[in-house]
Amino acid sequence: MMAIRELKVCLLGDTGVGKSSIVCRFVQDHFDHNISPTIGASFMTKTVPCGNELHKFLIWDTAGQERFHSLAPMYYRGSAAAVIVYDITKQDSFHTLKKWVKELKEHGPENIVMAIAGNKCDLSDIREVPMKDAKEYAESIGAIVVETSAKNAINIEELFQGISRQIPPLETHENGNSGTIKLGKQTAQTTRRCC
Amino acid sequence: MSIAEVATSLLRTEETFSAYLARINNVILQPLLQSGSFENSDLFLLLNNHFQVLWGLTEENCRTLKEAFSASESVSVQDVYLVWKADLFLDRYIQYFSTFATCAVLQGFEHAAKNKSEVWKSHKPALQQFLADFSLDASIAVALHTVLHKPFRDQLQQYSLIFSKLEGAAGQCPESEAIADATQKFAKLLSFVSQVLDEACLTRSLWKSLGHKFTDVLCIAERRLLEDSRNLTVYASTGRSDRVLLFNDILVLIQGSNFRSLDLKLVWVDVAERDVGKYALRIAAPEEEFFLLAKDLKARAVWQWKLNQAVRQALNGKRDFPLWSRDGDGSDPPHCRHFSFTFRAEGRLKNAVYDGEWCLGRPHGKGTLTWPDGRNYVGDFKEGLAHGFGIYLVPCVSEDHYDCYKCHWQEGKMSGYGICEYGNETVYKGYFKDDMRQGFGILEKASSTKHSFKYTGHWENDKRSGYGIWDDKERAERYIGMWHEDQRHGAGIVVTQSGACYQGTFHSDTMVGSGTLLLEDDSVYEGNFTADLTFVGKGKLTFPNGFTLEGTFSNRSSQGLHTQGILNTSGEQQDEHMAKLQLGQKEFPVEMRWEGLLNQFLEYIRLGCQGDMEEAFTGFHVQTSKELRKSQEYLFCQRENEEVPGKVDVLEDIIAHQEEETLQSYLERAFQNSLHPLGKLLKALTLAFQATYSTIGANKHLLNMAQEEVKHYAQKIWEVYLGFLHLASERKGQAYAEDLENSGLNGPSAVLPLILPSFYPDLFMLYMLYHEKEDDLYCQGIVDLSQETDVKLLEFLDVRKHFWPLKDLTLTKHQRRSLVKDRCFLSATDCLRNLITTVDPQEKLDILQKTYDEIAKTISRLLGEEFNPSMDDLLPLLMYVVTRARIQRLGAELHLIRDLMDPTTSGGMYDFLLTALESCYALIQKEIQYHQSWHASQDS
């Protein structure tokens, strides 16, 4: 018996940076047939083992267009983690990323795990955002960072493994780690037994 | 001996007997009747009548038999009239001897002997001569007695002899059965006669031995002594009783010079417990219970048998024939009897008349109890007390008014469900305990009267106490909150007709201290104010624009509102939260709100849903008596549209439908059936909910209270259901349905959509009020965007060009693609419009999912490949569909779904779908400005 924890993960980033491609790549091999394919890449789930738990990622895509930015809080509400995606070939997208981080810090759920994904690393010859900048920035805000290629399946698994590792195990909540109340509440409701 | 010879001997005895009767007539009866009146002379008149009839009968039969002889030589059984006319003979003899016995009991012969009239005196010598032939006794009275009965008995003996001869003569013939039958009847008649004479003799000597004090009251013509404690010893356990006399109609206990008599029709006899005495009989009668103690088993058995026989014969209204028989109808009297009785003993029932069914000396079954002061109870009794359903009328001081209680009773007290129509035009419908209103109930004064009101809530010791809703119809106000001893006491909310409402603390019916006043324009005042909503004293007023005014307020008549304070115009206080402030959730935790109502049901289950309790509890009554049914009313039942209730055993039924597949339809049926406890519970909760949130209670500040209440109902109803199931399993000796608990079925979530229709109209109204402003903005946005053609709208919403389903369109000659409206994504828009056709949040979510499916289908057809959209693509498409679907009150809809959807699916697909729709709704509210600037940029 392993406990399944449902973790809501929210995808943020400019339109065109490949948010949904990353998710598609991540869940591609283990497509969850329970989910209606018609929502497509907008909402996907995948379950991965982590320690003695199973993490079921409920991945929520968001619209990247500027006009929809104000709606983002409705989507990241209750998220355990946020994957913020930029395109290493577009400096602008990294700029947008910083704005998302700032917003999450201010309005996002407490103790949300943030993971930065520099996508399209297969196109590093036309790179605009240096790896170093991203790493430094991620460090400054305490976020996970990886450069990924959805196209070539580089670092995708690692990205989500990194998130899994950052999620505090259940025991911690029970010991009264007050910093994870939101997450704890979420998971307490959705923890089920699996055979 | 041949039949002819038998007939000859019959003729001979009859002739002798007839001659003898003629002499009695001449020598005794006629002179006696002519001698004028003496004490009890009318009895002789009656005796003479019976005598004449008997004589006539004998004469006539003699004659017919003679004719038969003269007509032919062969006489057959047919001619022996005794066989065919046995019943007639029996009847005549019984009449004669009954009258004779009465004569004997009342000492008629003694009176006759002492007759002083001249006629009689002159006749005496002849009489004495005649009597000497029959009796050696010198006393005329004794002789008369003998002469008037002995020959008749002798004649009956003769008949018996003739019958035995006849039986021998006839042998086996078709008539032998009739002969045997008649023989038996005459044998019975013989023993009847001797019993009657014995009884008469005993009774006569009793009357003679008892003093006048007793005989004056007790001695009546038809009364016979059946048993006497002097004859067969018993003692009565009540005080020092000297003598016990059993008569054919009463049981008498003599105590010194006093006596008590009990009507046998209301006497019950059975063997008493051993601890009372070794050989004791328990005698039960109205207002009376005592024991008869016998010396031995046999004596007790005789008394018990005689008592029971006497009671039964008294109830039958006639004596047995013969009076006592071992074989005949020796059965015991029925336990339940119908009788009218007036209570005499001091106490509650003094001088009350009870007319109805009795058992063991107490009203038991159906009956009517009427007091001299006009009070009156009609209904069920058990062991002397009102128990079951009954109607109790109590006249009020003023004439023509009654308090009418239509109630269930338990051991004499109102208990369980009842309706009470008070003389002062108020009506209570609810629960009682120990004669007091207790638990949940509604008290209403009709709106056509002065000071009309309605209270829906909890009661304790006959008073409003606990959580309750009070409508003051004159002030058009509703109080929602705590009560104590009929007064508003504790936390409370007052909602007014205008839409303003306030929350505060009440003490002895008035608000004390400061409170929060929410005005209809969304200003909020925190501080002191009066019941007329006038600010008085310290307070802080926050305007809708965020300005605040803090200070001391006063209100002098004619001068308006005065204040000294600080006006803060920084607008810092502006907060959505203020305008939508929710009341009552903390003050009235949802678990305690209708606790008393719910507990009533849980308690009912705990006590095992007993049959008679079921009626008392659920407030319906399956009546056989029409009279009661007419006055029956139901609280939670609408009788007019009620299906003919196939009353089923709830527990049986529940067991049969516990499987997950049949559960839903079972629950659905249960909820619709107002006779089912679950249906009853739902009706009661609906009443409570409406009392709180409909009409005046439709206030946006009560939304959270209302929605959490509905969810709580689902939870509790499920608990009640499980309780029933548990009980039913126990009854059946089955293991508790653990399957159900392990199946992963979320009970409350399954119940919620089934009960939601009952609350939906009022609940949705609250959502509409709560979202009034947003829905207005959204509506404006929809109207604005609706003007756009399909192409323009797709363009405005940034839907990617290759998703424009224009090649789908079949256009007429006069239409141009760029100008058509409402033609794209029709399947998806039609689907989304169905959102308002259901109340079930899950069904609404399913509709939502289908809408996405329809969008995807349209695009897939367009692209010729599977559509796997990211949100970048999906959201604009969804915006388009939502805009075109033009659903009214979408904000209210979304909020309702959000509140009532299964909380365990949080974070899942349905949550996502709903969030996407919510984001569209939010966007459309803002779209109007964006749209206008977009137009401006397009135009330039």
Residue A73 with chain B: CB contacts under 8 Å = none
Task: Say how far apart CA B875 and CA B857 lie, in whole Å.
Answer: 16
Give the model confidence (pLDDT) of B132-173 as tens digits: 766 666 678 888 888 888 889 899 998 888 888 888 887 777
Give the model confidence (pLDDT) of B264-303 as tens digits: 999 999 888 777 778 889 999 888 888 888 888 899 988 9
Q: What mean pLDDT is predicted for residues B812-818?
A: 73
pLDDT at B377 over 90: yes
Give all domains of chain B, ordered by start, each with its CATH number.
3-205 (1.20.900.10), 224-334 (2.30.29.30), 590-769 (no CATH), 771-939 (1.20.1050.80)
Give the model confidence (pLDDT) of B703-727 as tens digits: 999 999 999 999 999 998 888 888 8
Confidence of residue A34 (pLDDT cuts 50, 70, 90): very low
pLDDT at B584 over 80: yes
Give the model confidence (pLDDT) of B875-896 as tens digits: 999 999 999 999 999 999 999 9
Give the model confidence (pLDDT) of B341-359 as tens digits: 999 888 888 899 999 999 9
DSSP 8-state code for residue B536: E
By C-alpha distance, the chain A residue nearest B920 is: A71
Task: Say how far apart CA B932 and CA B940 lie, in whole Å.
Answer: 13
- Quick one: which H or E segment has residue B703? helix B703-732
Establish if A36 touches chain B: CB-CB under 8 angstroms.
Answer: yes
More confident call, B915 vs B801: B915
Give the model confidence (pLDDT) of A104-128 as tens digits: 999 999 889 999 999 888 888 888 9
- Name the interface residues of B facing A (CB cutoff 8 Å): 798, 849, 852-853, 855-857, 866-872, 874-876, 903-904, 906-909, 912-913, 915-916, 918-919, 922-923, 926, 930
Task: Say how far apart CA B266 and CA B574 lie, in whole Å.
Answer: 83
Contact A78/B868, CB-based, under 8 Å? Answer: no
Question: Six-digit token pair at B249?
Answer: 């109609």
By C-alpha distance, the chain B residue nearest A66 is: B872
Q: Which amino acid is at A192?
A: R
pLDDT at B742 over 70: no
Contact A42/B912, CB-based, under 8 Å? Answer: yes
Interface with A, mutate which of B850, B871, B910, B920 (most A CBs under 10 A): B871
Establish if A37 touches chain B: CB-CB under 8 angstroms.
Answer: yes
Is the Cβ–Cβ distance between A57 and A187 less than 8 Å?
no
Q: B415, exposed or middle or buried, with CB in 10 Å at 0-12, 13-18, 19+?
A: buried
Task: Say how far apart CA B353 and CA B376 lie, in whole Å.
Answer: 9
Task: Say how far apart CA A100 and CA A93 lie, in whole Å.
Answer: 11
Contact A38/B904, CB-based, under 8 Å? Answer: no
Assembly ipTM:
0.87
Residue B875 with chain A: CB contacts under 8 Å = 63, 65, 68
Q: Which of B868, B907, B923 is closest, CB to CB, to A8?
A: B907
pLDDT at B20 over 50: yes
Q: Which amino acid is at B488?
A: R
Ranking B284-298, B551-565, B784-798, B832-846 by mean pLDDT, the lowest is B551-565
Is the Cβ–Cβ distance between B357 and B286 less than 8 Å?
no
Task: Say how far apart CA B822 and CA B452 lie, in whole Å.
Answer: 54
> What is the number of other CB atoms lying within 10 angstroms of the CB of residue B417?
28
Q: Which of A58, A65, A75 is closest, CB to CB, to B908?
A: A58
| Minimum distance, in Å, between the CA of residue A144 and any CA atom of chain B | 22
Q: What percent of chain B has a predicted confidence (pLDDT) above 90?
A: 31
Kindly report the backbone phi and psi dihedral angles of residue B887, in degrees, each rounded to the nearest multiple of 5, phi listed first.
-80, 130
Question: Six-digit token pair at B293?
Answer: 């103690």
Q: What mean pLDDT is predicted for residues B643-672?
A: 73
Is the Cβ–Cβ distance between B818 and B809 less than 8 Å?
no
Interface with A, mutate which of B872, B875, B881, B928 (most A CBs under 10 A): B872
Task: Say how far apart CA A120 and CA A19 lie, in whole Å.
Answer: 11
Q: Identify the three-state secondary structure at position B169.
A: helix
| Minimum distance, in Å, between the CA of residue A64 and any CA atom of chain B | 6
Contact B870/A41, CB-based, under 8 Å? Answer: yes
By C-alpha distance, the chain B residue nearest A13 is: B872
Interface with A, mutate which of B850, B870, B895, B924 (most A CBs under 10 A): B870
Is the Cβ–Cβ distance between B267 and B251 less than 8 Å?
yes
**pTM exceeding 0.95:** no
- Please give the interface size between A and B, counted as residue pairs whose CB atoms are below 8 Å apart: 96
Task: Say how far apart CA B271 and CA B280 lie, in whole Å.
Answer: 6
Q: What mean pLDDT is predicted for residues B403-420?
A: 88
Confidence of residue A178 (pLDDT cuts 50, 70, 90): very low
pLDDT at A33 over 60: no
| Minimum distance, in Å, between the CA of residue B904 and any CA atom of chain A | 6
Residue A69 with chain B: CB contacts under 8 Å = none
| Minimum distance, in Å, between the CA of residue A140 and any CA atom of chain B | 29
pLDDT at A79: 93
Token pair 């209680």 is at which residue? B405
Establish if A57 touches chain B: CB-CB under 8 angstroms.
Answer: no
Is the Cβ–Cβ distance between B82 and B89 less than 8 Å?
yes
Interface with B, mutate which of A9, A39, A183, A190 (most B CBs under 10 A): A39
Task: Say how far apart CA B633 and CA B404 lie, in whole Å.
Answer: 12
Q: Which of B872, B903, B909 is closest, CB to CB, to A35?
A: B909
Q: Which of A8, A15, A71 is closest, CB to CB, to B923?
A: A71
Contact B798/A65, CB-based, under 8 Å? Answer: yes
